[in-house]
Structure 1
Amino acid sequence: MSAMDSPEPGRRKPARRPTMKDIARRAGVSESAVSFALNDRPGVSEATRDRVRRVAEQLGWRASTAARALSGEGAATVGLVLARPARTLEVESFFLQLVSGIQESLAQRHLGLLFQVVEGVEEECAIYRRWWAERRVDGLLVVDPRHDDPRPGLLDELGLPAVVIGMPAADSPSYPGISTVWADDAAAMASIVGYLHGLGHRRITHISGLPGLAHTRRRVASLQAEAARLGLTEVTSVATDYSEAEGAEATRKVLGGPRPPTAIVYDNDILAMAGLAVAVESGLAVPRDLSLVAWDDSVLCRTAHPPLTALVRDTAAYGRRAADTLLHLLDGAPATHVEDTLPTLTPRPSTSPPRP
């Protein structure tokens, strides 16, 4: 018996999907008539076909899209929805590496990955409801945790096993069917601030990603806490959507201020590369006039001129660990909260002591 068939003690009973029997009972016809009507087969009148379809719509019934689901064996598929502007993913190396690791783990169990990009969390939740109704997926990998995130509660209600990637145990809801995998963003930010402070930087700007994301909030809070601890009064954060365009605009804005930073920390490699281009076009020498740090390392960071100081980790392994954690849930294991390896700050020629 699978974990989805036998909920653990104390777990809320999953919502029940409407069946053909429910439709037959509501419409006052036989189950065979419902099957004929919904599958466009002869054997029922047009009036009956129309009535059955109206009742099916009212009940929220959806046809299963996988033959395995019809036999009760599951969809053999895991879902992943990314709620970000699609334009920000053109060269987003972090998610490419993450998905690569996820797929590597799923392939060993002959499971597919159903991936979709949407504009916001409301659309993401709507997709979860549709996938659940259609029996599209056996479980979900959830990324980009938010403050007051509605997704864990929805997935618990639907009874869909899930792993939330990037949610610390301290922030994790106590749902038996939801595990988490994360790395310590606060400690990683503290390592960056400590490194730049050690070089002599006192004016530091953080060009962050989307402000509603939980990891953005943790990074900003850590930056402020470290600044206060070290007595730094000229440390700020500027939010963007992770895109090259907003990264460039934010960099121009802070460099054009009355007291521009001597060091900038970017929340991903794309933002950092945009910032490097702006520095060059502004006539600034990196690192003599401005030091740059990228949160996520990539081939872009390593081949830039100069190569960018960056936080380095095995992102594909992070994806494999998340997928393996979900597979454990699907196998009936209890929910777990797994802390991944802390990313390591790797100094490169884009950082140096500031000019006197």
Structure 2
Amino acid sequence: MSRSKRVTIADIARQAGVSPGAVSFALNGRPGVSEETRQRILAIADQHDWRPSSTARALVGARAGVVGFAVNRPARTLGTEAFFTDLIAGAQSALAQHRIGLQLVVVPSIDEEMDTYRRWRRANQVDGVFVLDPRDGDPRPALLRSLGLPSVTIGGQPSREDAPATIWIDDAAAADSVFGYLAGLGHRHIVYLSGPAEYEHARLRAGVLRGLSERGVVGEVLETDYSPAQVSAVMRMLLSRRERPSAVVFDNDVMAIAGLRITQEMGVAVPGELSLASFDDSVVTGLVHPAITCLTRDTFTLGERAAEFLLEQLDAPETLLDRTGPVPVLTVRESTGRPAVA
């Protein structure tokens, strides 16, 4: 077979001794061929470095063999958050087993995220998408329905009846394990440094903290943009008060490390004068001194399950039922202890 000529599905079918339809099923990861035949077809495609024609794919409505992930986060901070690197690695690991690619873009706003979905759909560039950070009044589910673009949301509670399928980790229960532990140690003034308040997980966590007022806990929620610079400024303000909180909980590990640095800058002993905890864990939180108490999540597995879920959704005629992700556990380290006696 001449290497100067573009290899087609028909060429692969002749060499494999099967129909072009069988080749299409195999290359798109669809049922209809045996696993032995699928592997033979894939090996021939690899041998000839076969890639689908984007023009032909758009004309016939065939699958792109790619799923999309538009992440609305500051590009400068994205690479420092272990949650995203682990989530993307897990998703990519599962997708690679099905020969499906992942197209990742970082967008500055939800409007740009929605424009990305429109562009992807017009060009038949992706078969489905992951959606992150559900929020109150979220406009994305309605848009995805109107576009006919399959999706799976990664969230902190079950989806509404008319919304796309969600793989979720109970953020309310997770928040209770963190805030409840601190309350059990005797802390009565706890500050939660959250990300943007419109995010579902921030709202759920804040609600759990405020609910501890029944146990005599004063819960204070301070919103940030996740950046170490803003977290540092807020921590300096907190530690300059006449009456400081006895515990601070951060939305992620990078925020927690930034907060720990400010306690060291201002000579505040952790945990002797202030306990610190984080809703995300990473290797670094266990290496700093003192090591930080964290909610440990198997985010790699969450990414794997989300990818498998999305691939199933692509073949399903209706919206699938929600699923739960791996349950997080509280990892207690040196940064938390009983509050100092006044």
- TM-score normalised over the length of structure 2: 0.81
* Shift in alpha-carbon separation, 1:67–1:308, aligned structure 2, 3 A: farther
2:332 aligned residue: 347
1:60 aligned residue: none
Q: Residues 79 and 85 of structure 2 are in contact (CA less than 8 Å); yes or no, is this contact kept in structure 1? A: no
1:172 matched to 2:147:
no
Q: Residues 57 and 124 of structure 2 are in contact (CA less than 8 Å); yes or no, is this contact kept in structure 1? A: no
**DSSP-derived class of the 1:258 partner:** coil
Mapped to 2, the partners of 1:94 and 1:199 lie a distance apart of 28
Aligned residue identity for 2:273: D
**Cα-to-partner distance string for 1:281-306 (whole Å, 9 max, x where unaligned):** 00011111111101101011111111
1:325 aligned residue: 309
1:248 matched to 2:232:
yes
- How far the C-alpha of 1:272 sits from its partner, in A, is 0.1
2:213 paired residue among 224, 228, 233: 228
**DSSP-derived class of the 1:80 partner:** strand
- How far the C-alpha of 1:228 sits from its partner, in A, is 1.9
1:202 aligned residue: 188
Aligned residue identity for 2:206: V
Mapped to 2, the partners of 1:210 and 1:73 lie a distance apart of 39
**Cα-to-partner distance string for 1:257-302 (whole Å, 9 max, x where unaligned):** 2211111100000100000000000001111111110110101111
- TM-score normalised over the length of structure 1: 0.78
Q: Residues 61 and 124 of structure 2 are in contact (CA less than 8 Å); yes or no, is this contact kept in structure 1? A: no
- How far the C-alpha of 1:223 sits from its partner, in A, is 0.9
* Shift in alpha-carbon separation, 1:65–1:353, aligned structure 2, 3 A: same
Q: Residues 193 and 251 of structure 2 are in contact (CA less than 8 Å); yes or no, is this contact kept in structure 1? A: yes
Mapped to 2, the partners of 1:333 and 1:305 lie a distance apart of 52
1:281 matched to 2:265:
yes
2:170 aligned residue: 184
Mapped to 2, the partners of 1:100 and 1:331 lie a distance apart of 23
2:243 paired residue among 259, 270, 283: 259
Mapped to 2, the partners of 1:74 and 1:282 lie a distance apart of 57
**DSSP-derived class of the 1:103 partner:** helix
**Cα-to-partner distance string for 1:189-220 (whole Å, 9 max, x where unaligned):** 11112111121111111111111111111111
**DSSP-derived class of the 1:245 partner:** helix
2:138 paired residue among 149, 174, 189: 149
1:218 matched to 2:204:
yes
Mapped to 2, the partners of 1:187 and 1:229 lie a distance apart of 17
* Shift in alpha-carbon separation, 1:66–1:143, aligned structure 2, 3 A: farther
Mapped to 2, the partners of 1:325 and 1:156 lie a distance apart of 17
2:81 paired residue among 77, 92, 96: 92
1:121 matched to 2:110:
yes
Give the alignment's Cα RMSD to 1 decimal: 1.7
Q: Residues 172 and 180 of structure 1 are in contact (CA less than 8 Å); yes or no, is this contact kept in structure 2? A: no
- How far the C-alpha of 1:332 sits from its partner, in A, is 2.0
1:112 matched to 2:96:
no
Where does the alignment leave 5 or more consecutive residues of structure 2 unmatched? 1-20, 26-52
Report how many aligned residue pairs link the two structures.
290
- How far the C-alpha of 1:318 sits from its partner, in A, is 0.5
Mapped to 1, the partners of 2:156 and 2:179 lie a distance apart of 22
- How far the C-alpha of 1:333 sits from its partner, in A, is 5.8
Q: Percent identity?
A: 44
Mapped to 1, the partners of 2:56 and 2:256 lie a distance apart of 46
1:304 matched to 2:288:
yes
Mapped to 1, the partners of 2:56 and 2:276 lie a distance apart of 52
Q: Residues 168 and 339 of structure 1 are in contact (CA less than 8 Å); yes or no, is this contact kept in structure 2? A: no
Mapped to 1, the partners of 2:182 and 2:55 lie a distance apart of 53
Mapped to 2, the partners of 1:228 and 1:257 lie a distance apart of 21
**DSSP-derived class of the 1:172 partner:** coil
2:92 paired residue among 90, 93, 103: 103
